[in-house]
Amino acid sequence: MQHHYHQLLQQQKQYFHNGHTKEVTFRIRQLKNLKKALQQNEKAIMKALRQDLNKSEFEAYLTEVGFLYKEINEAIKNVKNWSKPHKVKTTLTHMGAKGVIYPEPYGVSLIISPWNYPVNLTIAPLIGAISAGCCAIVKPSEQTPHTSHALTQIINNTFDPEYIVAVEGAVQTSEALLELNFDHIFFTGSEAVGKIVMEKAAQHLTPVTLELGGKSPTVVHHDAQLDMAAKRLAWGKWTNAGQTCVAPDYLIVHQQVKAPLLKALVHHIQALYGTNVLENEDYPMIVNDQHVERLSHYLGEGDIYYGGEMDKEKRVIGPTIIENVSWDSSVMRDEIFGPILPVFVYEHEQDVIEMIRKRPHPLALYLFTESDSMVQYINSQFQFGGGCVNDVLYHLGTSQLPFGGVGSSGMGAYHGKHSFDAFTHHKSLLHQSTKFDIPLRYGQMKAALNILKKLIK
């Protein structure tokens, strides 16, 4: 297996060094090929997502496929401009010279994707790789086998293997690939595995983009529009049964509005999923039995305010709200990645700061308030990957905002041009004039030091 992957990598490096991928017309053609392949296989993708996660066609299109079409269209429209060398200003000490930044592809990238949004989080980085002019080996998640197989067929039927290839397999496959000397690694997954990826990349000093997770808090202030907050929170938390890296992980609500907020939250949960969620044929299921057991354990770590229904055989756990949870419990130590929402209350804004600082930097933070000063206060207190004011998850839907983490929630960002940049080295080059030579740099003029100080001040 190791020998096979080594051969694939060497073939792709040779293909890259032949310069095939650097032509913008080539990149645009490959982006169009990718879009066409997705469109032609859309039914197969929807079927696979239904089999693996029970995603409805609407949810699958909204969160998986439709987003990709937008990303591809934007890349096709802009990749020519993104790829152009661009001049930058130089200082007076560099008179006669011009500075130019050349966007260049890293080379051969390894893309390892997760199971929770297996189409989106596999193809979105690939769009960046194609746009930048990279070759790529793609490893989809074995946790969603039907989708992994569908994606592998789509990719391998669309591209030549010396350019882009997908490989299926379990942990051993990822381990074998990570031993190789790639030019760039793009990994989406857990913090624990992210550390392993970074450790392996360090052996070759390979640059990495890590899209990890973390416990993303949602704060509801006393002046929030409660019904709107509840509706958007219900949608964002329980989309994909909470198996979203930026899902609201826990709720911090002002004590004055806790009761009406939770009442509204239950109302909107039922409006979205019905009063008997176990009978809802479109409610997503938990990815595997191991995660069902993990999540079922969390249910006993607090008092259930709402929900708690479970069908282990169907791998379904209903939307659940729990109270009276200890900060030291496993549900508050781990990223939940499921349909369980712990609730905490606060009285003073400083309480919010103390609560959130109990955890590492989150991937996302959400705040519901009508107060600009509250927004400024919360935003100034924390480092987090990104987030929303008066909404959840929606910041992912605009390619103009970079998506990525900070600290333990990841490094690097993508979407839109940021995807292009993730797979690109911005090489700087100074073009110096030979028409004249400024003697200042040589220090042989009597007044050289004084002139230099004046220029640099």
So what's the architecture of 217-404 in CATH?
3-Layer(aba) Sandwich (3.40)
Dihedral angle, C-alpha 5, 8, 14, 16, nearest 10 °: -100
Please enumerate in sequence order all residues whose Cβ is within 8 A of that of 165, keeping only pairs 6 or more positions apart, or say none: 8, 12, 136, 137, 138, 155, 156, 159
With tokens 């930026």, the residue in question is: 246
Low-confidence stretches of the chain (pLDDT < 70) are: 1
Q: What local confidence, expressed as pLDDT, does residue 286 receive? A: 97
Place of tokens 């592998």: 152
Q: Which residue has the tokens 């591809």?
A: 72
Is 104 tagged catalytic? no
Closest CA to 216 of 384, 353, 398: 384
Pairing of strands 164-166, 135-139: parallel
Q: If DSSP codes are grouped into helix, strand and coil, which group holds residue 81? A: helix
Secondary structure class of 426 (helix, strand, coil)? strand
Q: Is 135 a catalytic residue?
A: no
User: Which pLDDT value is given to residue 358?
Assistant: 86
Question: Please, what CATH class does the domain formed by 2-212+409-429 belong to?
Answer: alpha beta
User: Distance from first CA to last CA of the chain, Å, rounded?
Assistant: 60
The amino acid sitting at 21 is: T
Write down the pLDDT at residue 127. Answer: 98
- The reported pLDDT for the residue numbered 8 is 95
Check if the beta carbon of residue 216 is closer than 8 Å to that of residue 247: yes
144: tokens are: 């969603």
Q: How far apart are CA 296 and CA 287, in angstroms?
A: 14
Q: What is the pLDDT of residues 409-456, one digit of tens each?
A: 999 999 999 999 999 999 999 999 888 887 777 777 777 788 778 877
3-state secondary structure 157-183: HHCCCCCEEECCCCHHHHHHHHCCCCC
Distances (CA, A) of 81 to 240, 374, 419, 421: 36, 39, 14, 13
Q: Output DSSP code: residue 278.
A: G
The residues spanned by each domain of the chain are 2-212+409-429, 217-404
pLDDT of 294: 97
Quick one: CA torsion of 133, 136, 141, 146, rounded to 10 degrees?
Answer: 90
Query: What pLDDT is attached to residue 42?
Result: 97
- CA 340/CA 237 separation, integer angstroms: 8
pTM of the model: 0.95
- Distance from C-alpha of 327 to C-alpha of 335, rounded to nearest angstrom: 13
- Per-residue b/e over 105-143, b at no fewer than 16 CB within 10 Å? bbbbbbbbbbbbbbbbbbbbbbbbbbbbbbbbbbbbbbb
Per-residue confidence (pLDDT) for residue 448, from 0 to 100: 77
> Measured between alpha carbons, how far is 159 from 246 in angstroms, rounded to an integer?
32
Q: Which residues pair with 323 in a beta bridge?
A: 303
Task: Report how far residue 405's alpha carbon sits from residue 419's, in angstroms, rounded to the nearest whole number.
Answer: 14
CB atoms within 10 A of CB 23: 12
Reading the block at residue 434, the tokens are 């030979």
How far, in Å, CA of 238 to CA of 316, rounded?
12
Catalytic residue among 71, 135, 191, 245: 245
Supply the pLDDT for residue 442. 79
Q: Which of 134, 211, 335, 388 is catalytic?
A: 211
Show the tokens assigned to 166.
Answer: 């997908």
